[in-house]
Copies of this chain bind each other. A is one copy, B any other.
Amino acid sequence: MKKNDLTFRVAGRAGDGSLTTGDVLSKIWKDMGLWLATYKDFPSNIRGLPTNMTIRLKDRQIYYGRKNRLDYLLAFDDTNVKIHLHDLVPGGVIIYDNSVKKELPPELIRDDVHYYYAPLKKIAKEELGLEVIKNIVAVGVASYLLGMDQDRTKEIIYKFFYARKGEKIASSNVEAFLRGWNYAKENLQKKDEYVVEEVPDAKKTYFIMGNEAVAFGAIVAGCRFISSYPITPATDVLEILARELPKYGGVMIQAEDELSAINYAAGAAYAGVRAMTSTSGPGLSLKTETIGLLVMNETPLVIYVAQRGGPSTGLPTKPEQSDLFHAVFGGHGDAPRIVIAPGNVKEMYWMTIDAFNLAEKYQTPVILLTDQILAQNKFSVPVEDITIEGVRIERGKLLTQEELNEIIEKEGQFLRYRITEDGISPRSIPGQEGGIYTANSNEHQEDGYTTEDPKMRTAMMDKRLRKIYQTARKSGDLPEDLIHGYEDAEIGIIGYGYTYGPIMEAIENLASEGIKVKFLQMRTLWPVDTEKLSQFIDSAEKVIVVDHNAQAQLSTLIKIVYDNHDKLEILKKYDGYGFTPEIIEKKVKEVLSYVG
């Protein structure tokens, strides 16, 4: 019996409701006390093209929603059986909706896989009069087959729909669930070993999507203005904040384009409001010029970037980490900014708060760089990991009227761009008496007035660089890069963002085979913590850089600051799918085979 350890995939066509099926199942399993992680794989299409969602569950923490191999497939048509058939493990399961094509053709039959046929759509249409409810019929079939408790499941479904759509819809969904359950009970003979059971005394968790965590982080951090232009996979943040911000005196402006989005946000930030803009690669490209402006006029802004497959429109709904070059180096002129990257949903929450604090403390744009996998998938997080305790709002050298008065009294004048030792200047906001200055895109003197004086120019440039490359770098304020795994391992791995998930799982799996690996999770991508990075690489024989893009962008960044390039092994991928633990394990073994 394989209990409470399952990789389950629902696959259909866009518009089919596969994602709904997945959502309902997840909710049930979550309430049964299991830990979950999802991996949604959908096309840039509203209806018709193949779509699927993988849900992984365990009775303990799970890092990531995807594996090379699959236990369970719920397929709404034969096309989807074909697509996923070979991902199934021996002993795996297929639930196939045979409403349209009664039988699967021989080439779709594997001996080592268990098949269950159920006319889901037909039951929904003919017995329930509503085709889309086939998703819940499917839930019924799967629940039965997985040996779940009927009453408990029914209760969860009822509650789920009741909260969202009321009594009537809740009842009809329960009805659909029961039809599925009963069909299975009457017609299907359980042959497989998979079982999902209630976990006693389960840890309390949130089941939450990265974008949802970022939006919450923004609210808690005091963000009161967002302006963005919709784009997958970042839109959720805009939509959530459109709904939530007004509750707290905030404003959401759907901009006419990305150029205006970032300039709206900048205007609010200049006026003293914590502000952000959110986007993905194409929008980031369009925001380039303004990022440079914000470096120049030292306006704090959080730029949330959920990466997807590029270049250009590319693979608009698929994951990739190919905007790193641009995040770090994009824009004309010398325009250093801070780039930070959370590796999981918990960090997405906390590092959003960091981003706002860093932006104001260092009076700079901060890019919060994530990716489609973290942004759009849900993960179980212990409730104590997302709390408001310990949250600090640090506004840096933003002056109150009193502080401003004091400066003027003491120094006779207020200079917004005062050249200070740490490179950070006192900051006033419009409306304050005595705080007048010009936020200038031209090089400027200390009061903000345009200058072309070479000495002042050099001093201003030095100041701007100093605050990022020295003050911020040494401050301890930047999210620390973390070392996971086995410190004394001779193989190291470096990655950032979602690859944290598959790498952590690979480390566990390898450890169970006796292979020790260590992992440097980079959380501040710019400016790089050179010392920690160098120490990490120095102390390993070989270091594998997990780089989800074609040009090895992360490896390139590392090569700039670490000069023993031979130590680096690059593991690349750019086919629109996330790394899996298996791929990383394989690479580690390969490298091990020729190291020492």
Residues of B within 8 A of A280 (CB): 332
Residues of B within 8 A of A334 (CB): 310-311, 322, 549-551, 553, 574
Residues of B within 8 A of A325 (CB): 329-331
Interface flag for A407 (CB, 8 Å): no
A320 touches which of B49, B310, B333, B564 (Cβ 8 Å): B333
Interface flag for A292 (CB, 8 Å): yes
Interface flags, A306-343, vs B, CB<8A=1, else 0 = 01011111111110101101101111111110000000
Interface flag for A366 (CB, 8 Å): no
Interface flag for A577 (CB, 8 Å): yes
Interface flag for A297 (CB, 8 Å): yes
A314 touches which of B296, B310, B551 (Cβ 8 Å): B296
With contacts A282-B289, A285-B289 taken as known, whether A295 is within 8 angstroms of B318 at the C-beta atoms is no
Q: Please tell me if the beta carbons of A332 and B336 are within 8 angstroms of each other in the complex.
A: no
Residues of B within 8 A of A293 (CB): 311-313
Residues of B within 8 A of A297 (CB): 312
Q: Please tell me if the beta carbons of A563 and B564 are within 8 angstroms of each other in the complex.
A: yes
Interface flags, A38-60, vs B, CB<8A=1, else 0 = 00000110000100000000000
Interface flag for A433 (CB, 8 Å): no
Q: Please tell me if the beta carbons of A311 and B292 are within 8 angstroms of each other in the complex.
A: yes
Interface flag for A79 (CB, 8 Å): no
Question: Which residue on chain B has the smallest CB distance to residue A454?
Answer: B575
Interface flag for A288 (CB, 8 Å): yes
Interface flag for A441 (CB, 8 Å): yes
Q: Please tell me if the beta carbons of A333 and B576 are within 8 angstroms of each other in the complex.
A: no
Residues of B within 8 A of A331 (CB): 285, 311, 325-326, 330
Residues of B within 8 A of A410 (CB): none
Interface flag for A243 (CB, 8 Å): no
Q: Please tell me if the beta carbons of A282 and B551 are within 8 angstroms of each other in the complex.
A: no
Q: What band does the interface of chain A fall in when counting residues whose beta carbon is under 8 Å from B? A: 35 or more
Question: Which A260-297 residues sit within 8 Å CB-CB of chain B?
Answer: 280-282, 284-286, 288-289, 292-293, 295-297
Q: Please tell me if the beta carbons of B461 and A574 are within 8 angstroms of each other in the complex.
A: yes
Interface flags, A452-478, vs B, CB<8A=1, else 0 = 101101100110010000000000000
Interface flag for A595 (CB, 8 Å): no
Interface flag for A443 (CB, 8 Å): yes
Q: Please tell me if the beta carbons of A457 and B310 are within 8 angstroms of each other in the complex.
A: no
Interface flag for A559 (CB, 8 Å): yes
With contacts A311-B295, A443-B314, A551-B465 taken as known, whether A457 is within 8 angstroms of B574 at the C-beta atoms is yes
Interface flag for A509 (CB, 8 Å): no
Question: Which residue on chain B has the smallest CB distance to residue A49?
Answer: B452
Residues of B within 8 A of A575 (CB): 454-455, 457-458
Q: Please tell me if the beta carbons of A310 and B333 are within 8 angstroms of each other in the complex.
A: yes
Interface flag for A556 (CB, 8 Å): yes
A333 touches which of B281, B328, B563 (Cβ 8 Å): B281
A residues sitting closer than 8 Å to B (CB atoms) are: 43-44, 49, 259, 280-282, 284-286, 288-289, 292-293, 295-297, 307, 309-318, 320, 322-323, 325-326, 328-336, 441-443, 450, 452, 454-455, 457-458, 461-462, 465, 549-551, 553, 556, 559-560, 563-566, 574-577
Closest 10 CB pairs of A and B: A310-B333, A281-B332, A311-B333, A454-B575, A296-B312, A311-B335, A285-B289, A325-B329, A313-B441, A312-B441
